[in-house]
Amino acid sequence: MGLATSVLRSRTLAALTSPHGVDRYLELVNPMWAAHEVRARVVDVRREVDVPGHPPVATITLQPTSTWQGHRAGQHVQVGVEIDGARRTTRVFSISSPDSRPGDRFQITLRANPEGLVSRYLVERARPGTMVHLSQAQGEFVLPDAVPERILLISGGSGITPVMSMLRSLQRRTHRGHVTFLHYAQSPEHQIFADELDEVRRSGHGIDVRLLHPELGDPALSPAYLERHVPGYRDVPTWACGPAPLIEAVQGAYADSPALRLEYFKPPRVAGSDAAEGDVVFSRSGATGANTGATLLDQAEALGLTPESGCRMGICFSCVSRKSEGTVRNVLTGEESSLPDEDVRICVSAPVGDCTVDL
Amino acid sequence: MTALHDETTAPEAPESGPAEATRTIFGRLTPEQLETFGEEMDAIRQRVLAELGEDDAAYIRNVVKAQRAFEIAGRALFYLPPAWPLAVASLSVSKILDNMEIGHNVMHGQYDWMGDPGLSSRMYEWDNVCPSEQWKYSHNYIHHTYTNILGKDRDIGYGVLRMDEDQPWHPYYLGNPLYAFLLMVFFEWGVAMHDLEVENLVAGKRKLEDNKALHAGIMRKVKRQAVKDYLLFPALTGPLFPLTFAGNATANLVRNVWAFNIIFCGHFPAGVATFSQEECEDESRGQWYFRQLLGSANITGGKLFHLMTGNLSHQIEHHLFPDLPARRYPQVAEEVREICERYDLPYNTGPLGKQLFSVARKICRFALPDRKRDEATETPAPAEAAAA
């Protein structure tokens, strides 16, 4: 930590800038100055795959503020963008570049999901110079410092990004062991990182890359297939990341083997138009109930919880809670919202289908 | 009710004093009218919510920038002793903006839709000894939900003043003007102690233990203000310590006096109605809107004045739509007044001088025991109010 950072994070400066904090002043001078918060400037947007009729994929290079603590291959980061200069929306993306040190540039690779505000903004509208808000790198799905001799990486679809970060880190660390990488995709067309993967395969650094397309006749993931290519795979340290069906197949093949580490990409849940269906989960207390169609506040109270609340009519904001998943309907306006990790007034929000609230 | 939009005329018809207004208020509209009135208010709210966007975000960010600039300029000018008055003025403006147009409004959740943690009602902390958590409870919840309901809205007299004839008189209230003056000078402290319900402690309705958790929060804020305004910044100016100390104290005082005056003009000018708990049982949304309208008063003025009041000069619109960005109130006010005219409802507004005079009168009048009804209903005399 440099002298400037020590000063910026000192208790004296915190006291002088109370109650707002140092960052509320620094950001007005230069958005790249920060004492605690993490932000980044986009320095490059490169299209990886751009096929007409399909959502484009891009790799975005970010120069973070000096507060960025670096990341370990396999981790993800929350990226917040200000859409139309007003509404900050945040999503989680996997980091695709190899391990980074504090303050280092890094990359995320993402597909412009047609319904995804953030991914579309980043792929289609971000330009060098655009500022984004970041969290620190998060996630336990990482390579250990000492990488075992023999490892297996499995990914499906866009789950390739964290695995790509791992592959790149292994190459940079000049890992000399034996790596098997199985990637499952719908078809060989539009494969992201295709050239790089090809090069890795041919360079003969002990990395066995297999791109599989079960829908085109390649073998699906099965214990037999794994056993043939990675004998004794249940004891081989394995990292798997991808959509739910792939992860379920991997879990089945590994039983409860401690060698398996997983990263789940949840498919977006489609909410039915009928209000009273699905389950409501209050994650902090662990209470769960069938959705009655009443407001989240009423349902929480019916389950015996006592969340903070006030006016019960949407004006005082005492009851604002974080909805981590699911769709809610504002009972005053009828407006529905499906954003994950959204703050909602539970006294005027009724769940539509499954819903999880941090209460 | 012919002169509703004439700002210099008191909104109440001469024959109906505050007492009568209280008792007949809900007789003004039929239930059907009340419902359509509520729907019209809802429609305004929906429309503005749908329009929120870049302009509103840019506006509040610019106000924040201006506030920080005034703050830094004020702190820096203390190094130039001849510029002391300028330093105090600059710091006062910064504190007023911080508490009113930014703090009060952000803590109402007016900018929560922006998703910016720096402007979020859950995270925002203001430059005031009252902790934001406690403020949001007593203000956003209690005051805004139960506006002007006697026995429920603790903002009626803040537990120390007699501001309504339905508060029974007691010799203690002879000090009404003095208490009001002290509350003005120490306003941020009054606000911080509001939640402690000292009057209920004295009356034995509340135990000292109930306040334990609140004490810690208040002490934390008090300590922060003391360290910043009365220790660190004065110390940074070296030999000018006493001047800077006095300057910072003055800026806090200026903010107290200004905030007190603006806020008292919001609910206490003559003609503003209060309500009994029975009247407000099982209230409909229309009725709630109606009560907010009758229980609030505006102050007329220019753009800069509205900004410096945090747009609480549009107290009526603020109470109707507490979660809409305050910069929208002047625009919404035109529609609200048009609706009030159509329903033949009072819309209490006037210049600062008039509203302040009216409040001061009330403070003094209620210091004394109630006079006979015929005398009491004489006030407010519109001619007198207009002359103020």
Q: What is the CATH number of the domain that holds A312?
A: 3.10.20.30
C-alpha distance from A24 to closest chain B C-alpha (Å): 8
Please indicate, yes or no, if residue A28 is contained in any of the structural domains.
no
Is the CB of A90 less than 8 angstroms away from the CB of B115? yes
How many other CB atoms are found less than 10 A from the CB of residue B49? 18
Same domain, A166 and A76: no
Total H helices, total E strands in chain A:
9, 17
* pLDDT score for B88: 98
CB B237 within 8 A of CB B84: no
Of the partner residues A15, A19, A80, the one whose CB lies closest to the CB of residue B127: A19
Same domain, A352 and A248: no
Same domain, A87 and A166: no
Q: Is A36 on the interface with B (CB under 8 A)?
A: no
How many other CB atoms are found less than 10 A from the CB of residue A140? 10
Please indicate, yes or no, if residue A274 is contained in any of the structural domains.
no
Ordered alpha helix ranges (H), A160-276: 160-172, 194-203, 223-229, 244-254
Residues of chain B contacting A89 with CB distance shorter than 8 Å: 115
Is the CB of B145 less than 8 angstroms away from the CB of A316? yes
CA dist B34 and B31 (Å) reads 5
Concatenated DSSP letters of B338-362: HHHHHHT----EEEHHHHHHHHHHH
Name residue A207's beta-bridge partners: A179
- Written as six digits, the tokens of B328 are 């929208």
The count of structural domains within chain A is 3
Same domain, A120 and A193: no
C-alpha distance from B226 to closest chain A C-alpha (Å): 10
Residues of chain A contacting B133 with CB distance shorter than 8 Å: none
Is the CB of B288 less than 8 angstroms away from the CB of A19? no
- Written as six digits, the tokens of A240 are 């798997």
Same domain, A230 and A163: yes
**pLDDT tens digits, residue range B306-359?**
999 999 999 999 999 999 999 999 999 999 999 999 999 999 999 999 999 999
**pLDDT tens digits, residue range A45-92?**
999 988 888 899 999 999 999 999 999 999 999 999 998 888 888 888
Please indicate, yes or no, if residue A185 is contained in any of the structural domains.
yes
**CA B205 to each of CA B170, B172, B195, B201, B216: distance values in angstroms, whole numbers, following the listed order:** 18, 19, 14, 6, 21
Element (H, E) at B247: helix B241-267
**Which of A40, A44, A92, A91 lies closest to A69 in space, CA to CA?**
A40
Please indicate, yes or no, if residue A272 is contained in any of the structural domains.
no
Same domain, A258 and A298: no
Is the CB of A317 less than 8 angstroms away from the CB of B323? yes
**CA A353 to each of CA A327, A335, B41: distance values in angstroms, whole numbers, following the listed order:** 7, 15, 31
pLDDT of B376 > 50? The answer is: no
Among A76, A100, A134, which residue terminates a domain?
Answer: A134
Task: Please name the residue of chain A whose CA is at the shortest distance from the CA of residue B65.
Answer: A28
Is the CB of A80 less than 8 angstroms away from the CB of B122? no
The contact set of B with A (CB < 8 A) is 42, 46, 49, 52-54, 56-58, 64-65, 68, 72, 108-109, 112-116, 118, 120-122, 125-127, 136-137, 140-141, 144-145, 221, 224-225, 227-228, 232-233, 285, 288, 322-323
Same domain, A83 and A188: no
> Where do we find the tokens 């410096």?
B308
Q: What CATH number does the domain containing A73 carry?
A: 2.40.30.10
Same domain, A219 and A321: no
Per-residue three-class SS string for B265-311: HHHCCCCCCCECCHHHCCCCHHHHHHHHHHCCCEEECCHHHHHHCCC
Please indicate, yes or no, if residue A16 is contained in any of the structural domains.
no
How many other CB atoms are found less than 10 A from the CB of residue B188? 23
Same domain, A155 and A255: yes
Domain extent at residue A129: 37-134
Is the CB of B228 less than 8 angstroms away from the CB of A343? no
Same domain, A164 and A260: yes
Residues of chain A contacting B234 with CB distance shorter than 8 Å: none
Residues of chain A contacting B144 with CB distance shorter than 8 Å: 311, 315-316
Q: What CATH number does the domain containing A222 carry?
A: 3.40.50.80
Please indicate, yes or no, if residue A257 is contained in any of the structural domains.
yes
Please indicate, yes or no, if residue A155 is contained in any of the structural domains.
yes
A294 in helix, strand or coil?
coil
In percent, the amount of chain A with pLDDT more than 70 equals 96
C-alpha distance from B41 to closest chain A C-alpha (Å): 13
Residue with the larger pLDDT of the pair A264 and B135: B135
**pLDDT tens digits, residue range A198-207?**
998 888 678 8
Same domain, A41 and A122: yes
**pLDDT tens digits, residue range A128-142?**
999 999 999 988 899
Is the CB of B232 less than 8 angstroms away from the CB of A12? yes
Please indicate, yes or no, if residue A7 is contained in any of the structural domains.
no
Of the partner residues A12, A90, A315, the one whose CB lies closest to the CB of residue B144: A315
Of the partner residues B72, B140, B224, the one whose CB lies closest to the CB of residue A310: B140
Same domain, A298 and A247: no
**pLDDT tens digits, residue range A142-186?**
998 889 999 999 999 889 999 999 999 998 888 788 999 999 998
